[in-house]
Chains A and B, each alone.
Chain A
Amino acid sequence: MLYFAELAGKYVTSSDGKTIGRLTDFAFLATDQPLITKLRIDTRVGHILVPISNMRSINGTITLTPGFETSGVSDNELSVKIHLLDQQIIDIKGNKVVRVNDVVIQDKPYFVIAGVDVGVLGIARWLKLEQALNRLVSGFGTSLRSDFLPWENIQPLELSRGKVQLKHEEGKLTKLAPEDLADHLERLSVKNLTKILDLLPNEYETEVIQNLNVSRQRELLRNINPKHAAAILSRIDPDEAVDILLTLSERRRNLITPFLTDEAKSHIDYLLNLSKTDIGNLATTDFFCADPEETAGNVRRRMKRDTTLATPLTYVFVTNKKKELVGVCNLHELLLQDMDVPMYKFMIPNVVAVYLTTPPEIAMKKMVKYKIYSLPIINDKRQLLGIVTIDDLAEAMQEKQT
């Protein structure tokens, strides 16, 4: 998760390390799925707009790809700085609610505005006082939570008319915990979700579906017509497709498979046959969980105190109050953080996970593909049941072959 306050003003360099200018703004699509499309960079001689696909990495500075392109503003694009940031938020009746103090950007799997920060921390961030304020408040034994309004509360059409208007009345406002902000697609109805998927470019659609919660994937494939379902499944990775198919009833599965493309069908048929073994037998419950608000320092202290070397840790899984898996981070990422940064800030919100129905072969493929050494096993409420490690999995598969 990224904050506009932390990105604005960052230096932008070309791939060979030359400074181009500073990032001052983003262009985004004023739709239900507010994709960030362009970076605005202020250079010494004026400003340029660079499509986001030309951005290679964000660290201390932003690096562009070699031979990056520039472009103009399209009709349907708005500016974060002019249309969103610092603007007055009004509810559906026109009452003043609060101002947009910061804009929250989700960077994975693609750049999209997840929502707006309306809390005090959003203001503190512009003054570079966020951590100091957190420290101060934690000295009094309490903690400051960021107040986020998720994007789905905002009427995108009104933005171009210069208004940040909510879809509800002030009283019905849902403010979210930061860790839940990332997956706002999960909170949409299936009808709205399909609408959004239709609008997305194909490559995004695939990623979005792969990143949905298993219960949502199931709901989606149950409710759209089998032909459309098959079209989606053909486009996504066969392993993922099988994984999703296996969560459906056999009847539904048989309705969808005839519509798959031949190539996808042969792949998927093969993988479906593998699904007889149970991954549950390989699972272990030796995993380490953290709270989204917990600081990196606290997680490290707890790790030192509570864990042994008997089962080496590779990841910290982040679960919310409802025990749902909301993020993950590896130990390297944890070590890189300052001690007082909360987990939600740097965890990866779209966790690669498997289900109890997932064949071990597919689990293995996922591990290889994403370079992961242990996968979380979740149920359809996204609650963490256990993990399966690469060595257990490899051993089981080896035994099976011999």
Chain B
Amino acid sequence: MRELFHQWKHRILIALAIVGPGLITAVADNDAAGVSTYSMAAATFGYQIFIILIPMTILLAITQEIGARIAIVAEKGLADLIRERYGVRIALIMYGLLFFVNLAVVIMDVAGLKAALSLFGLNPTVFLPAIIVGLYLFVVLSSYSIVERFFLVLVAFYGTYVLSAFMAKPDWATATSSLIIPHGQITPRFLYVSIAVLGTTITAWGQFFINSYVKDKHVTTEHLKYNRAEIYLGAIVTDTLTFFMMVAVAATIFANKIIVTDAAQAAIAIRPFAGNFAGILFGVGLLFAGMLGCVIVALTTAYAFSEFFGYSGSLDETFRKSRLFYTTLLIQLVIGTIVALMPNISLFAITLAANFVNGAILPVIFYFLYEFANNEAIMGTHTNNKIQNWLLAGSAIVIIFASLVGLLGQIFGW
């Protein structure tokens, strides 16, 4: 009996040690840009949109797991492998694309943060730079484990969406059954919105981030199983949060036929139906989603830079040693803040550009994942199985289709 207890204690300890990358990356997919998209989707289509949540979770889990497995087995990041196997030119193009798509996402997240600050009556011109500087200094000065705990705390704040969902008093039976049973008409607009939801969840930066972050955590191959479980769990937790977020919006805003286009509007619109507190909770969620998103996406660019060009780059290293790593992080945050604070900035144009580049870059990243994950010289016995390959290829096709439709949708205003 005691032995059994020890065995389990051991397992739980390992599991806890592994927790982090999968959960953080997956939840960060629900960044401020994500929350806005989900709010808009649920406000427009209500429970109908829920049908895409389960397939989306599977895609997210599969792609993230492959990325993490490569990092653990090869002890190299995705960018490391691209540079070493495809040379300088490809590496530069990929880095350039990633830089711009990430920058656009950072801008959207900082803009989300700004909107959340305004909700609480805090002047963004003062508080936004202060928060960004604070976040930056924290990341620079702290070690990996402390930064990770901080991320996990931010993740915990997503719990506010669960609370606001309950306060919205939704029809739980319809909400849950809509996950499996499709209803309503499939219009181009519906397709476009579903795809936007997919595109904001499965991202280019997510693939790079999980990879570098797992590597920075030094997970070993013997813990692959735990790592896989953690990533699957992360995907499920993330989309469960998305589910609650959408429930809160569907039960109130959609039910009362109010039009909202972003999360801040949703946080206001929710108040008359679910109470002020639910609105505040929704706003708090957005605030933390913005913080988590902008740091993690900017961090991805920094990781990729240090991997592509071989400079030292780890959260465990000092500013002096990882100067270029931390500078890349800073540049993204500074540009993000400046653009978000511009009075007449068109976030619409940035979203358009970001979605397009994201759509363009993801199939290419999937190609690299496919190549690396099936290469025995890199992966040894841990290569992809057939199902994983089919799913990966399938996701690439879906995403290409998705981003094309998404782009057309935004151009023609579906």
Chain A residues with a Cβ under 8 A of chain B: 85-89, 95-101, 123, 126-127
Of A86, A97, A127, the contact of B312 (CB 8 Å cutoff):
A97
- B residues with a Cβ closer than 8 A to A are 80, 83-84, 87-89, 91-92, 306, 308-313, 321
Given A86-B83, A99-B83: A126 touches B88 (CB 8 Å cut-off): yes
20 inter-chain pairs at a CB distance below 8 angstroms, sorted by A residue, are A85-B87, A86-B84, A86-B87, A86-B88, A86-B91, A88-B80, A89-B310, A95-B312, A95-B321, A96-B306, A96-B311, A97-B311, A97-B312, A99-B83, A99-B310, A126-B88, A126-B89, A127-B88, A127-B89, A127-B92
Q: How far is the CB of A240 from chain B (nearest CB, A)?
A: 42
Q: Which of B89, B91, B310, B312 has the most CB of A within 10 A?
A: B310
Contacts of A86 in B (CB 8 A): 83-84, 87-88, 91
With most chain B CB atoms within 10 A of its CB, the pick from A86, A88, A98, A123 is A86
Given A98-B309, A123-B92; 12 other pairs, CB 8 A cutoff: A85-B87, A86-B83, A86-B84, A86-B88, A87-B84, A88-B310, A89-B310, A95-B312, A99-B308, A99-B309, A99-B310, A127-B88
In the assembled complex, the CB of B314 is this many whole angstroms from the nearest CB of chain A, namely 8
Nearest CB of chain A from residue B376's CB, rounded to whole Å: 15
Measured CB to CB, the closest approach of chain B to A115, in angstroms, equals 16
Q: Which 3 A-B pairs have the closest CB atoms?
A: A99-B310, A126-B88, A96-B312
**Alpha-carbon distance between A96 and B87 when the two chains are bound, in angstroms:** 18
Chain B, Cβ-Cβ closest to A8: B87
- Nearest CB of chain B from residue A316's CB, rounded to whole Å: 33
Smallest CB–CB gap between A88 and chain B, Å?
A: 5
**Given known contacts A86-B83, A88-B80, A96-B306, A101 and B312 CB-to-CB distance under 8 angstroms:** no
User: B308 contacts which chain A residues (CB < 8 A)?
Assistant: 99
Minimum CB–CB distance for A93 against chain B, Å: 11
A98 with B311: CB separation less than 8 A: yes
Closest A residue to B306 by CB, please name it: A96
List of B residues within 8 angstroms of A98 by Cβ: 309-311
> Would you give the shortest CB distance from A30 to chain B, in whole angstroms?
18
User: What A residues does B321 contact at CB under 8 A?
Assistant: 95
A268 CB, nearest partner CB in chain B, Å: 52
> A97 — which chain B residues lie within 8 A by C-beta?
310-312
State in angstroms the CA–CA spacing of A85 and B310 once bound together.
Answer: 12
Determine the distance from Cα of A85 to Cα of B89 in the docked complex, in whole angstroms: 13
CA distance A312 to B321 in the complex (A): 54
A273 to B266, CA, bound (A): 101
In the complex, the chain B residue whose C-beta lies closest to that of A95 is: B312
Instruction: State the CA gap A348–B80 with chains docked (Å).
Output: 37
Compute how far the CA of A123 lies from the CA of B91 in the bound complex, rounded to whole angstroms.
10
Nearest-Cβ distance from residue B56 to partner chain A, whole angstroms: 35
In the complex, what distance in Å separates the CA atom of A100 from the CA atom of B80? 12
Q: Which residues of A contact B313 (CB under 8 A)?
A: 96
- Distance (whole angstroms) from the CB of B86 to the closest CB of chain A: 8
A165 to chain B, nearest CB (A): 13
CA distance A8 to B359 in the complex (A): 33
Which residue, B88, B306, B309, B321, has most C-beta atoms of chain A within 10 A? B88
How many angstroms from the CA of A124 to the CA of B313 in the assembled complex? 22
User: In the complex, how many angstroms separate the beta carbon of A326 from the nearest chain B beta carbon?
Assistant: 28
Bound-state CA distance A88–B310 (Å) is: 6
A88-B80, A96-B306 as given contacts; A126 in contact with B311, CB under 8 Å: no
